[in-house]
Amino acid sequence: MDKPLLILLLLVTGATIAQERLTLQEAIARTLQKNYDISISGIAVQQAARNNTIGNAGYLPNISAGISGSQSRMNVQSDLANGSEQNNPNAVNTNLNPAVLVNWTVFDGGRMFLVKKQLNELEALSELQLRMQMQSVVSRTIQMYAQVALMQRQLAAVDTALHLARVRMELTDMKYRNGAGAKVDYLQARVDYNARQADSLTYVGSFAQACDSMSVLMGENEDKLYRVDDSLPIDRKLQPAGKDRLRDINLSLSIFRQNADLSQINADIARSFSLPTLTLNGGYVYNRNTSATGFALFTQSYGANGSFNLSVPVFNGGNLRRQTKVASLQAMRDELLFERQYTIIGRQYRTTWRNYTLAVAAYNLANENIRYAKENLDVQLARFRVGVGTTLESREAENAFVQAIIRLYTAEYDLKISETQVLELENRLVTAR
């Protein structure tokens, strides 16, 4: 950055902030590594993967082990039927019952298979959402980087205008002092020079704000100023994807498709509740009792046991039918949401592609126009130096050249934005991991 603008920048920020060199590739790499939205989506993928197990789907039995025991100390007095008596002022009774129990639902109307399929779809959905989040954040990073580059180049354009205004001011001042020019020409040049300085301050503030937004995207909370690439790579030869191909590659459509599939699985799960359920129960039980009184002073039993339970839903107030119908309607609703999103994405893609085509044409025109503006400026300055041209003609040539530079930079920025938006819709900004 030129020295006058750097001084202005330090005045605006109020502190000496070192500029950090930052390429587009480095900005994207930092964003993918530190961006909070991506990190949050990554945790959601890990959660979905942890939940996607056969145990969570209900395939496996539930096995539990436990033990219970009790002890009592009683003062017992008993008159037995045979005429004998039992008197024990300190009778101790104990009971011990360890057991291992198994509960296994071997058939639940096929619900366990549907739940496993649902868990698979949920994990795939979380991965799609992560990829979409990455595409979105990378797209915003490229666009923000392009904005920082635009601000930086506009600062250079304003600095060029400031330099031209200063040259004209010095020439008019010299002519005025030599009696070869009017004072009004010098005054107008001085006003133009001051106006360019005010423009510099405005662009410096915008540049600092764009740098701050870039830091936030990269997951950093520091007051930094970046020195970015002046020229970004642009592609003026993109070709639109076909309508059918867009359905397959757009991540937003894939997520809506996944939600519709999940709703259909939920409808199948709701229907499974109307089918029979078969559950097996078993265990190994040990029972030990001791008693200081009574006929049995010691009892011990152990062994395996098993049972089964077959449950058939017959009538529950119509709730099963209601839940099934609601789930089916939800599946229909999500299918319609997918079709609506397909229409919205199609319109958005057509608009984005149209903007890209217009941006290419505008960039080509601005790139051609800059040569004419530069040649016109050189001619007018030469005429003004030899006293042939007027101050007004020189001023107009300066303004036309500066505006041509700004239009070229803006056209390149608009083209990069349109290109990025097209690539985001086509899922081409981040390669699949």
**Residue 67 is inside which H or E element, if any?**
strand 62-79
* Residue that wins the pLDDT comparison between 125 and 398: 125
Which has the higher per-residue pLDDT, 378 or 420? 420
Q: How does residue 342 score in pLDDT terms, banded at 50, 70 and 90?
A: very high
Selection from 423, 373, 361, 379 nearest residue 403 by Cα = 373
Model confidence pLDDT, tens digit, residues 406-417: 888 889 999 999
Q: What is the pLDDT of residue 7?
A: 46
- Rounded to the nearest 10°, the torsion over CA 291, 296, 300, 305 is -120
CA distance 200 to 433: 44
Q: Answer whether residue 366 is part of any domain.
A: yes
CATH number reported for the structural domain that contains residue 385 in this entry: 1.20.1600.10
Q: Is 233 exposed, middle or buried (0-12, 13-18, 19+ CB in 10 A)?
A: exposed
Q: Are 358 and 421 in contact (CB under 8 A)?
A: no
Nearest to 381 by CA among 187, 158, 170: 170
Is 7 contained in some domain? Answer: yes
For the chain, give the percent of residues with pLDDT over 90.
46
Confirm whether 83 is domain-assigned: yes
In three-state secondary structure terms, 60 is coil
CB 32 within 8 A of CB 136: no
Q: What are the DSSP E strand ranges found in 261-353?
A: 277-290, 298-311
Give per-residue pLDDT as tens, 368-399: 888 888 888 788 778 777 777 766 677 777 77
CB–CB of 250/425 below 8 Å?
A: yes
At residue 139, the pLDDT reads 94
Residue 345's pLDDT band, with cuts at 50, 70 and 90, is very high
User: What are all long-range contacts of 380-389, with beta carbons under 8 Å and residues at least 24 apart?
Assistant: 381/167, 384/168, 384/171, 385/171, 387/180
More confident residue, 176 or 115: 115
User: Is residue 113 in some structural domain?
Assistant: yes
Same domain, 174 and 43: yes
Structural domain of residue 96, as residue ranges? 65-107+278-311
**Same-domain pairing of 306 and 326:** no
Regarding whether 288 and 320 lie in a shared domain, the answer is no
Residues 198, 78: one domain? Answer: no
Q: 157-182 b/e with 16+ CB inside 10 Å = b? A: bbbbbbebbbbbbebbbebbeeeebe
Domain-terminating residue out of 311, 335, 355: 311
Q: Both 348 and 413 in a single domain?
A: yes
Q: Report DSSP letters for 169-188, one per residue.
A: HHHHHHHHHHTSS-HHHHHH
Residue 433 lies in a domain: no
What is the pTM for the complete model shown? 0.78
> Tell me: the pLDDT tens digits for 219-275?
887 778 888 988 888 899 988 877 778 888 899 999 999 999 999 999 999 999 999
- The pLDDT of residue 276 is 93
Assigned domain for 11 exists = yes
Whole-angstrom distance between the N-terminal and C-terminal Cα of the chain?
Answer: 38
Do 19 and 34 lie in one domain? The reply is yes
Residue after which a domain boundary falls, among 294, 311, 328? 311
On whether both 373 and 404 belong to a single domain, the answer is yes
Q: Which residue has the higher pLDDT, 172 or 32?
A: 32
CA angle 372, 195, 13 (to 5 degrees): 110
Those residues whose C-beta lies under 8 Å from the C-beta of residue 240, and which sit 6 or more positions away, are 349, 353, 422
50 and 176 both lie in a single domain: yes
The domain tally of the chain equals 2
Where does a domain end: 267, 291, 311?
Answer: 311
Check pLDDT > 60 for residue 8: no
1-21: average pLDDT: 52
Is residue 351 scored above 90 in pLDDT?
A: yes
Q: What is the mean pLDDT of the chain?
A: 85
105: CB partners within 8 A, 6+ apart: 58, 112, 277, 278, 279, 280
For the ranges 182-196, 243-257, 304-318, the lowest mean pLDDT is seen at 182-196
